[in-house]
Amino acid sequence: MNSMMSIGNLHVRFATPFGSLEAVRSVDLEIPAGASVGIVGESGSGKTVACRAAMGLLSGSNVQRDGTVVFDGKELTAMTREEVRNEFGTGMAMIFQDPMTALNPVRRIGTQLSESLRLRLGMDKKAALARSAELLSLVRIPDPEAMLKKFPYQLSGGMRQRVMIAIAISCNPKLLFADEPTTALDVTVQAQILQLLSELRRDLKMSMVLITHDLGVVANHTDFVAVMYAGEVVEQATTAELFANMKMPYTQALLNSIPNIEMKSGERLQVIEGRLPNPVDRPKGCGFVTRCSYAQQKCHDEHPPLLDAGNGHLYRCWYPLGHTIARKP
């Protein structure tokens, strides 16, 4: 299986008035061609930042990115902004969490959709609009011609997300990042969107990275899973292996916290008791230690390395699930 994207030792640091903040620490990730990889973690675990950093979408004077990202045989981290930009749309594309904020409120759907067609694929205006309508019907939007003339605020959340998917796939990308594509949507719509994404991935032969906090979503729609916590990958395996042989207490905690159906869209999940560690002033031991019911003294003192449990199953824990030492009640 050849690699679509390979991320090596990725670090992302933000300079803030409070000091340097390391949002992503030494992340290694392999995205095989044609596969669907899930990245799971709480809000603030660094999954979105890691993906945006991998794509090269983070900019600003306060961002520092280290490590290597190889996409489709090309080393993105060694390329100029211009060269990376040429990979966007046709190579990589992204779907954002909140379709409310990710569509430009002042531009018509047609303009936003046809823009990349015209600029990236060199279509003329008419052809681009015709193709836009096709794309809209591809994502199952009824009456696509009328939709082209609308503004985002005139659409429902599900419709917006479909529009965004249409934009993302418009230039036939090889790799699609879907950053919590369903979090902001109603539960009923969530399933439809995920179904649509899976079908599109199959039909268009894309690789996909599905970022989510919902292990349930991962189980149904991905081939590989990486669990992130406090900027690090803490567990990584094929989806089947992970659910069969869970190693991390954190992953288990995630699994136990199923999103509440009554929860309002956009609201942050506080799925596990306690808080993420302060990213500026990290504890020297395991980041999960204050919230882990299995924590030992060693967890406080030493940072666990990434260990291999076989079958490509990696985890970062001194006392993984199934370990035999005595646990606290």
Partner 1 sequence: MRGSFWVKRLAQLLITVFGVTFGCSLLVQLLPVSPAEILLPVGSPEERDLLTKEIGLDRGPIGYYAKWLGEFVTGDFGDIYYSGGTEEVSGRLATALPRSLLLMIYTQIVALSIAIPLGVWSAYRVGRRADKVISNTLFTMSSIPNFAIALVLVLIVGVRLQWLPTLDYQPFSAGPWEHAKHMIMPVLSLSVGLVASYTRLLRADMIATLREDYITMAASKGLSDRRVLWRHAFRPSSVTLFTSAALNMGGLIGGAIVVETIFATYGVGFEVFAAISGRQYIALQSMVAIICIFYVLFNLTIDVIAGYVDPRTRDRRINA
Partner 2 sequence: MRKKYTIPTYFAFGWLGFAVFLAVFGSFIPIDGYQVIHGDFIDSPPFTSGHWFGVDSNGYDIFSGIINGARLSIFIAVVSVGLGGFIGSLLGVTAAYYRGRYDSVVNTAFNVVLSVPNLVLALALVAVLATNVDINEAVPTWRRLITLVMSLTIVIIPILGRIARAATLAWSGREFIVAARSMGMRDRHIISRHIVPNVLPALIAVGFLAVGVVIIAEASLSLLGVGIPDGASWGGMIARGRNDLEYNPHALYIPIIALAFTVISTNHVGDVLRGKLDRREGRL
The residues that touch partner 2, with contacts defined as CB under 8 A, are 14, 16-19, 21, 23, 49, 264, 278, 280
Out of 2, 73, 106, 325, which residue is the one contacting partner 1 (CB under 8 A)?
A: 106
Among the listed ranges 1-9, 87-95, 194-202, 291-299, the one in contact with partner 1 (CB under 8 A) is 87-95
Q: Which does 92 bind (CB under 5 to 8 A by kind): partner 2, partner 1, none?
A: partner 1
Out of 68, 72, 79, 120, which residue is the one contacting partner 1 (CB under 8 A)?
A: 120
The number of CA neighbours under 13 Å toward the Cβ of 195 is 8
User: Is residue 16 at the binding interface for partner 1, with CB under 8 A as the rule?
Assistant: no
109-121 vs 157-169: helix axis angle to the nearest 10?
A: 10
Q: Which does 278 bind (CB under 5 to 8 A by kind): partner 1, partner 2, none?
A: partner 2
Q: What Rg, from alpha-carbon coordinates, does the chain have? A: 20
Among the listed ranges 31-39, 68-76, 84-92, 218-226, the one in contact with partner 1 (CB under 8 A) is 84-92
Q: Which does 101 bind (CB under 5 to 8 A by kind): partner 2, partner 1, none?
A: partner 1
Q: Which does 329 bind (CB under 5 to 8 A by kind): partner 2, partner 1, none?
A: none
CA–CA separation, 240 vs 219, rounded Å? 8
CA–CA separation, 117 vs 131, rounded Å? 8
Q: Which does 246 bind (CB under 5 to 8 A by kind): partner 2, partner 1, none?
A: none
Q: Which does 307 bind (CB under 5 to 8 A by kind): partner 2, partner 1, none?
A: none
Nearest to partner 1 of 182, 251 (CB atom):
182
Residues 5/91, Cβ–Cβ less than 8 Å: no
E-assigned strands of 185-302? 207-212, 224-229, 232-238
User: Is residue 125 at the binding interface for partner 1, with CB under 8 A as the rule?
Assistant: no
The number of CA neighbours under 13 Å toward the Cβ of 46 is 28
CA–CA separation, 252 vs 8, rounded Å? 26
CA–CA separation, 97 vs 245, rounded Å? 29
Nearest to partner 1 of 57, 269 (CB atom):
57
DSSP at 250:
H
Q: Token pair for residue 149?
A: 């003339």
User: Is residue 167 at the binding interface for partner 1, with CB under 8 A as the rule?
Assistant: yes
CA–CA separation, 48 vs 68, rounded Å? 17
User: Is residue 80 at the binding interface for partner 1, with CB under 8 A as the rule?
Assistant: no
User: Is residue 23 at the binding interface for partner 1, with CB under 8 A as the rule?
Assistant: no
CA–CA separation, 8 vs 28, rounded Å? 5
Residues that bind partner 1 (CB under 8 A): 52, 55, 57, 59-62, 81, 85-90, 92-94, 96-98, 101-107, 115-116, 119-120, 151, 153, 164, 167-168, 171
